[in-house]
Chain A
Amino acid sequence: MTLRDKTVDETPRSLVRAVLYDATIRGWVFQGLVLLFLILFAVWVIHNTAVNLRAANIPFGFDFLNMRAGFDISQKPIDYTLDSSHAQAFKVGLLNTIIVSVLGIVFATIIGFVVGISRLSNNWLLARAATVYVETLRNVPLLLQLLFWYKAVLSVLPGPRQGYWLPLSINLSNRGLTMPRPIIGEGFEIVLWTVPVAMVLAWVMARWAKRRQIATGQSFPVFRASLGLIVGLPLAVFLVLGAPLSFEFPELKGFNFVGGMVIHPELTAMLFGISLYTATFIAETVRGGILAVSAGQSEAAFSLGLRPNQTMRLIVVPQAMRVIIPPLTSQYLNLTKNSSLALAIGYPDLVAVFAGSTLNITGHAIEVIAITMAVYLALSLITAALMNWFNARVALVER
């Protein structure tokens, strides 16, 4: 009796309970609430923005991209005049960002690997110098370093007449780095085209060498042969075509240089600052990667009879690279994002040209910032996707 009473009594309550305490239902309700909140927030923001834009009399839209820009840009890798459109200014800015990022990545990688290996060197002086370099530059903001190179080093350099001559007729003065300009002659494109051809040939050769080694046990100096192929083939073609490349040397005329190629002080400061700063992080990555390969690996390689350089090339480096490459990529991404600090020293990168000048002239804040962010975001996402693909390929395959 009591038993039945209890069940009768409990049924409605337990139903409510079941609904209230069901994890799935609670999850959906919670998610629904979050969604509702987000939608309300978005509507509120969009409404406010529409009202504000109407009040400021700025129509929303991307038509402004076709309007005349009317401002000058100091470094123009493509045609650009005062009469060009904002879209053209955007392209110039994007190209400048790419120029500084690519050059920065190249220099930072070279310096970073050298310093990272130096920190592990047996040579006390070298290891200490590398440590001091890394610990000093890593702990000072990049913006400060850029300002330092620009304001405290490059702008107090003497004029072109008293500038410093570096090797290869390069002159460092307050006009920046002046260097010989390559003049491309007839048929030089053919030389450039032989590079990818040589790379493909080297790849085919490496495959053949590997197959032969598996079949017969005979090894083949793949590295030296590919290097010879990639350097030698274009060089041979270059010489056969009669060296279709000459240089125009800068000459002092009056107070400035005539001819040659100038890297503006802004770009020079950017390259110094961003490469030296990023190199410290790359150095730490490289050092960590090499230390991550346990000593047992090299010992095992020695006991198999491999020579030290073979051990390094076949055992240590491939395993270290697996550790190094993912953080290295994120350092490259950081460098690209950090190149936006160019704004502070007047290098015309994407942010300075587009989110700076174009935004100030047209007032289309939302569109301009959104496009700028989208560019960087796309770059990051593409890199991340490539990285995941790469990681999946090189990851240790366990069972």
Chain B
Amino acid sequence: MSRIETDTVFVRRDFLEPEAPPASLGGFPGWARKHLFSSPLNILVTLAMALLLVWAGPPLFRWLFVDAVWTGTNRDACLPKNGEPMGACWAFVHAKLAQFTFGSYPADQRWRPSLVMIGFFLGLAWIAIPKMPRRREGTWLMLTAFPVLTFWLLYGGFGLPIVETPNWGGLLVTLVVAITGIVASLPLGILLALGRRSKLPFIKIVSVVFIEIWRGVPLITVLFMASVMLPLFLPNGVNFDKLLRALIGVALFTGAYMAETIRGGLQAIPKGQYEGAASLGLSYWQSMRLIILPQALKIVIPGIVNSFISLFKDTSLVMIIGLYDLLGSIQRNFSDASWSTPSIAPTGLIFAAAVFWVFCFSMSRYSMYMERKLNTGRKR
């Protein structure tokens, strides 16, 4: 009886192939329906954005590439001819590229800043890529030997002809200010952050006052202070370089911001770590150096990179006290009579924006990458 039933009853042994979703829900139409036309408001927004794109996109593209002038040796190339629309004047950027990179650094000595820049980027890759070997040594090398070597190469002496700092310019000055600010502000920031969390009341007050004063004022007033007040504070006759004065201002200013970033990391370390270090008999400095700071600094790497990004953008302010960084040297060339056409200002500024953007955007991506990497334990 039961035998017959099993023979006659159909029992399906495998699953049916799932049917494709309805055409309106799958593929691009489905995607578009969900992400572009899901509601009347959404349709309106999509149309508005599409209109904006059609209205602004093609003219921008034409200006940047199609109508742009790519070659030429003076302003004639970039002058509008018989009423035709004129695009960007890339010939201007091309002709001035060396100036935008090195300022008026002597042409036959430009291998020196080039070498420094190459060395810097290689060193940066060494310490920034997690898979590289001996990163700790690399970091120490970049923080100690590299600055000395850089100073020697850029300024000269010991067999190299001396190039005074007023001749430095362009991207070189931008990088020098940014990197000095970064290198100097890290130790200053660590000291200030430790000072702010110190149990010694006077040290704490001094750190708090220092940090809050620098954080409360705009960088431009700090730079003004460095350029007009600093000479008054020093003994008569001692007068140092304008670039160095700006560097001092930038370093103090960034140090205060760095201190607050690092303090965040110090506060995130559980109390048990401090107590554990103390119970092992480590002194204050030992426990900071061996236990607390390695952990705290690791947590705040993204924050530190973010400080670097804002420092890098802020270097453009040195232009206001008369140093020719990237933006300053581009701006200075707007008044060059042999190139003055209406299109060089937008072209030069867009070029500068692109350079700054590449630096800042890659730094911010790196910071996000580090954040994800350091965050693995807490991912849900």
Complex-state Cα separation, A121 to B46, whole angstroms: 11
Complex-state Cα separation, A142 to B345, whole angstroms: 16
B232 surroundings in chain A (CB, below 8 A): 48-49, 52-53, 365-366
Is residue A337 within 8 Å, beta carbon to beta carbon, of the partner chain? Answer: yes
In the complex the two chains form, is A341's CB within 8 Å of B317's CB? yes
Is residue B16 within 8 Å, beta carbon to beta carbon, of the partner chain? Answer: no
Is residue B129 within 8 Å, beta carbon to beta carbon, of the partner chain? Answer: no
In the complex the two chains form, is B236's CB within 8 Å of A48's CB? yes
Is residue A380 within 8 Å, beta carbon to beta carbon, of the partner chain? Answer: yes
Tell which of A147-155, A163-171, A237-245, A388-396 binds the partner. Answer: A147-155
In the complex the two chains form, is A140's CB within 8 Å of B313's CB? yes
Interface size of A as a range: 35 or more
B212 surroundings in chain A (CB, below 8 A): 377, 380-381, 384
The one of B206, B342, B356 that contacts A144, using a Cβ cutoff of 8 Å: B356
8 A Cβ contacts from B172-226 to A: 199-203, 206, 212-213, 215-221, 224-225
B314 surroundings in chain A (CB, below 8 A): 141
In the complex the two chains form, is B235's CB within 8 Å of A48's CB? yes
Chain A 80-123: CB-based contact to B (< 8 A → 1; otherwise 0): 00000000000000000000000000000000000000000111
In the complex the two chains form, is B220's CB within 8 Å of A369's CB? no
Is residue A293 within 8 Å, beta carbon to beta carbon, of the partner chain? Answer: no
* A162 CB, min distance to chain B CBs, angstroms: 15
In the complex the two chains form, is A126's CB within 8 Å of B45's CB? yes
Interface of A is mostly: helix
In the complex the two chains form, is A376's CB within 8 Å of B357's CB? no
In the complex the two chains form, is B217's CB within 8 Å of A373's CB? yes
Q: If A34-B202, A122-B35, A123-B42 touch, does A139 touch B349 (CB 8 Å cutoff)?
A: no
Is residue B234 within 8 Å, beta carbon to beta carbon, of the partner chain? Answer: yes
Is residue B268 within 8 Å, beta carbon to beta carbon, of the partner chain? Answer: no
B52 surroundings in chain A (CB, below 8 A): 129
- Report the nearest A residue to B346, measured CB to CB: A152
* B344 CB, min distance to chain A CBs, angstroms: 10
Complex-state Cα separation, A376 to B357, whole angstroms: 29
- Report the nearest A residue to B347, measured CB to CB: A152
Complex-state Cα separation, A123 to B36, whole angstroms: 5
- Report the nearest A residue to B42, measured CB to CB: A123
In the complex the two chains form, is A355's CB within 8 Å of B221's CB? yes
In the complex the two chains form, is B234's CB within 8 Å of A377's CB? no
In the complex the two chains form, is B346's CB within 8 Å of A141's CB? no
In the complex the two chains form, is A125's CB within 8 Å of B50's CB? yes
A148 surroundings in chain B (CB, below 8 A): 346, 349-350, 353
Complex-state Cα separation, A317 to B37, whole angstroms: 26
A376 surroundings in chain B (CB, below 8 A): 216-218, 221
A380 surroundings in chain B (CB, below 8 A): 212, 215-217
In the complex the two chains form, is B317's CB within 8 Å of A139's CB? no
B317 surroundings in chain A (CB, below 8 A): 143, 341
Complex-state Cα separation, A152 to B113, whole angstroms: 31
Is residue A305 within 8 Å, beta carbon to beta carbon, of the partner chain? Answer: no
In the complex the two chains form, is A372's CB within 8 Å of B352's CB? no
Is residue A31 within 8 Å, beta carbon to beta carbon, of the partner chain? Answer: yes
In the complex the two chains form, is A143's CB within 8 Å of B216's CB? no
8 A Cβ contacts from B219-253 to A: 219-221, 224-225, 228-229, 231-236
Is residue A55 within 8 Å, beta carbon to beta carbon, of the partner chain? Answer: yes
Complex-state Cα separation, A304 to B218, whole angstroms: 49
The one of B34, B228, B313, B331 that contacts A369, using a Cβ cutoff of 8 Å: B228
In the complex the two chains form, is B234's CB within 8 Å of A144's CB? no
Complex-state Cα separation, A30 to B201, whole angstroms: 11
Is residue B69 within 8 Å, beta carbon to beta carbon, of the partner chain? Answer: no
B220 surroundings in chain A (CB, below 8 A): 340-341, 343, 351
Complex-state Cα separation, A110 to B200, whole angstroms: 45
In the complex the two chains form, is A369's CB within 8 Å of B49's CB? no
A48 surroundings in chain B (CB, below 8 A): 232-236
In the complex the two chains form, is B229's CB within 8 Å of A369's CB? yes
In the complex the two chains form, is A369's CB within 8 Å of B216's CB? no
Chain A 259-280: CB-based contact to B (< 8 A → 1; otherwise 0): 0000000000000000000000
Q: Beyond the given A142-B313, A143-B320, could you list 14 further A-B residue pairs with CB under 8 A, ordered by the A residue number? A: A34-B206, A51-B235, A52-B236, A123-B36, A123-B42, A140-B356, A141-B313, A141-B316, A144-B356, A153-B346, A337-B219, A341-B320, A351-B224, A377-B216
Interface pairs A-B: 6 shortest CB-CB: A380-B216, A139-B360, A152-B346, A337-B218, A124-B35, A141-B313
